[in-house]
Copies of this chain bind each other. A is one copy, B any other.
Amino acid sequence: MSQDPGRFAVGFDIGGTNMRAGLISGSGEIIRQVSAPTPATAGELDSGIVELVRALGEDHPIDAVGMAVAGFLDPACETVRFAPHLPWRDAPVRAHLEGLLGLPVRLEHDANSAAWGEYRFGGAQGADNWVLLAIGTGIGAALIVDGEIYRGAHGTAPEFGHLRVVPDGRPCPCGKSGCLERYCSGTALVDSALEFSTRGGFGDSVLLEAIRRDPTGLKGDMITRAARDRDPLGVAVMEDFSLWLGECLSMVADVLDPELIVIGGGVSRDADIYLETAVAHFAGRIVGAGYRPLARVGTAQLGADAGMIGVADLARQAVAAP
């Protein structure tokens, strides 16, 4: 597992809007980073990737390149089957980029990459059986079992965000309704605030006034800020989110029984205002509560860099492996 920290790998985090790449040391430090808008066509994406790698490699030798991708990969991580915001469809991306860059390339799902970063250098060091819940627009998840990424038979595990938790519940862009991430995500904060705002009982809520003025301008950080200011509507929305997160934690613990669950993603920045309530709810909801140890719950430490750092480390490992 240990590599020469004097050697470097590049980690890419390719999102629908921007792509970021970092030159990462063997101890997980970001030596340098660059970014660019994500091109819309496969050809421009190729050139963009080559250019960023060239920029990072000017003064440093690069051993390998890792690519964290938001989408479905095959279990061998050779092919991108489907990535909603990228121009790859059933594309053998790994071999293609390896040919293009003349360097070993490692492809990995973005949540798995972030989990690997947290496992090697962040909030999950030392925990060999644990789950990452990356809560932002939706819920991304990754599972580490005995120190390895669990991906399932077809490479799609683990998915928690679209478990149906409310029959005929809030409609989801996935086509179903009542999915967990419609109640437990950054997006859900906004949905809940809009829904709650039509009920009474929130007295002189500044947040309620803001919603009445401009419901379409409501953002998640307005709600967390309101909750911090003890605004009645803000507090009610965060309370609801806390209970759903506790429910989500209990589902993860029931099915996977990890030693640790790490909350990452954009929502993790405000963990101080909801995590205690969520964990208390979780403790009372698992099956056999009292007869089984409870998973620890923590927060991610590498923020938005986790995927870049993690996939660079995976790329280095792939090169170092026999």
Contact = CB atoms under 8 A, between A and B. Distances in A.
**Chain A binding site: helix, strand, loop or mixed by DSSP?**
loop
Interface residues of A, number: 40
A121 B152 CA distance: 23
A20 interface: no
A84 B156 CA distance: 36
A164 interface: yes
Contacts of A156: 254, 257, 287-288, 292
A155 interface: yes
A154 B292 CA distance: 7
Contact of A157 (B157, B160, B165, B257): B257
A255 interface: yes
Contact of A165 (B159, B161, B167, B285): B167
Given A160-B254, A255-B159, A291 B72 contact: yes
Contacts of A166: 166-167
Interface string A116-158: 0000000000000100000000000000010000111111111
Interface in A174-195: 174, 176
Given A129-B153, A145-B145, A152-B129, A159 B254 contact: yes
A16 to B, nearest CB: 16
Given A176-B285, A285-B176, A258 B152 contact: yes
A162 B81 contact: no
A242 to B, nearest CB: 15
A163 B165 CA distance: 9
A161 B288 CA distance: 12
A200 interface: no
Interface of A: 72, 81-82, 129, 145, 150-167, 174, 176, 247, 251, 254-259, 285, 287-288, 291-293, 295
Given A151-B257, A154-B295, A165-B165, 10 more contacts: A82-B291, A129-B152, A145-B145, A156-B257, A156-B288, A156-B292, A158-B254, A158-B255, A160-B255, A163-B251
26 contacts: A72-B288, A72-B292, A81-B291, A81-B292, A82-B288, A82-B291, A145-B145, A145-B150, A151-B257, A152-B258, A154-B257, A154-B259, A154-B293, A154-B295, A155-B257, A156-B257, A156-B288, A158-B254, A160-B255, A162-B254, A162-B287, A163-B254, A164-B165, A166-B166, A166-B167, A255-B256
